[in-house]
């Protein structure tokens, strides 16, 4: 299943590109020239989340932003199970297809584990890491695990599929007046039907089910990537990945880390503070 939605070129002024992965057709943008940066989104977003950052960096970097299968403009394969490990496998195929070398990977939300899992398997080709409100270790807080259990229940799964709950309540509910109505519609209209939202419905379960992958990343990220230059850009008002818990864990994993605190930003940092993130990346990876 493909999505018919066509982004407004004034909001998403990029050429769509496609990659036929082993699991389905992946949409991505590949803008600009220079050192490559790979942008990885989480749930319930897509590459649209990075539009301001890509536009701000493509004059000096090659900016690649991918839509995970089941998200954005990518295919919704019936046979794909939409788990984090499988998303990472597909991302790795794209990295190899594009022959990326000396690349920076940025991950947000589930894009952190997806991007880092692919990066640890290609550590010799990674230049650096950017993390924005994400984790790469098992998610233990009771509130997060309770959210996982509740959102995985039958009634809430029906609301995710039938009412687009994750987009309407958790994304647009947080961003409020930060987005124009047209921008909000770009998040809504790429998930237009129950069938198209199957990938969204899996994500809450992965908070608990992805533990084997997160256990591996907790070991492999410091061991294989911990010596790489790293940057954390953190929304300090995030109640999902709280800075007081997450930033010290990231500091412990990376020997060469810069932290940029974004005091007015919540979870979706790219919407709150794109200019600050552009500047931070340009400073860290000149």
Residues annotated catalytic, as ranges: 109, 238, 267
The span from the CA of 35 to the CA of 104, in Å, is 8
Q: How far apart are CA 57 and CA 277, in angstroms?
A: 10
H or E stretch covering 123:
none
DSSP string across 63-119: EEEEPPTTSTTS---TT----HHHHHHHHHHHHHHTT--SEEEEEETTHHHHHHHHH
* CA atoms of 260 and 53, how far apart (whole Å): 15
- Whose tokens are 């190899």? That residue is 96
Name the 3-class secondary structure at 210. coil
Of 112, 115, 94, 77, nearest in space to 199 by CA: 77
**Interacting residues of 36 by C-beta distance below 8 A, sequence separation 6+:** 61, 62, 63, 64, 98, 100, 101, 102, 103, 104
């Amino acid at each position: 299943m493909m999505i018919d939605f066509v982004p407004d070129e004034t909001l998403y002024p990029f050429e769509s590109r496609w990659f036929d992965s082993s699991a389905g057709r992946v949409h991505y943008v590949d803008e600009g020239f220079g050192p490559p940066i790979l942008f990885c989104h989480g749930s319930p977003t897509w590459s649209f989340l990075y539009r301001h950052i890509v536009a701000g960096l493509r004059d000096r970097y090659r900016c690649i932003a991918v839509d995970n299968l089941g998200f954005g403009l990518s295919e919704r394969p019936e046979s794909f199970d939409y788990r984090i490990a499988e998303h990472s496998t597909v991302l790795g195929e794209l990295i190899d297809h594009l022959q990326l070398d000396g690349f920076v990977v940025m991950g947000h939300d589930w894009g952190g584990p997806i991007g880092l899992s692919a990066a640890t398997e290609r550590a010799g080709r990674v230049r650096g890491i950017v993390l924005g409100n994400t984790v790469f270790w098992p998610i233990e807080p009771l509130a997060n695990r309770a959210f996982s259990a509740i959102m995985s229940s039958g009634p809430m799964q029906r609301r995710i599929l039938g009412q687009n709950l994750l987009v309407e309540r958790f994304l647009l509910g947080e961003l409020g007046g930060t987005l124009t109505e047209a921008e909000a519609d770009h998040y809504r209209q790429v998930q237009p039907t129950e069938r198209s939202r199957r990938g969204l419905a899996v994500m809450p379960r992965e908070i608990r089910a992805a533990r084997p992958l997160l256990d591996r990343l907790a070991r492999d990220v410091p061991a294989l990537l911990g010596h790489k230059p790293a940057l954390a850009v953190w929304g300090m008002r995030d109640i999902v990945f709280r800075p007081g818990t997450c930033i010290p864990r990231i500091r412990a994993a990376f020997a060469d880390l810069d932290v940029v605190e974004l005091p007015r930003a919540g979870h979706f940092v790219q919407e709150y503070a794109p200019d600050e993130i552009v500047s931070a990346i340009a400073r860290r990876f000149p």
